[in-house]
């Protein structure tokens, strides 16, 4: 497990998972923001 250079595949998977989580949170935040604005009108 402990190696000087990380496995490129593991790095790609980690970056993909983090990017996916961030994207999901952005989409959820946008939907909540849109719903709140829709109720305001």
pLDDT in tens, 1-32: 566 777 889 999 999 999 999 999 999 999 99
> How many whole angstroms from its chain centre is CA 27?
9
pLDDT at 1: 54
The rounded radius of gyration (Å) of the Cα atoms in the chain is 18
SS3 2: coil
Rounded to whole angstroms, the Cα distance separating 14 from 3 reads 16
> Is the pLDDT at 39 greater than 60, yes or no?
yes
C-alpha neighbours within 13 Å on the C-beta side of residue 38: 6
pLDDT at 30: 95
């Amino acid at each position: 497990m402990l190696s000087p250079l990380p496995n490129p595949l593991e790095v790609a998977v980690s970056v993909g998972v983090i990017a996916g989580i961030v994207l999901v949170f952005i989409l959820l935040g946008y939907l909540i923001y849109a719903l709140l604005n829709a109720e305001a009108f």
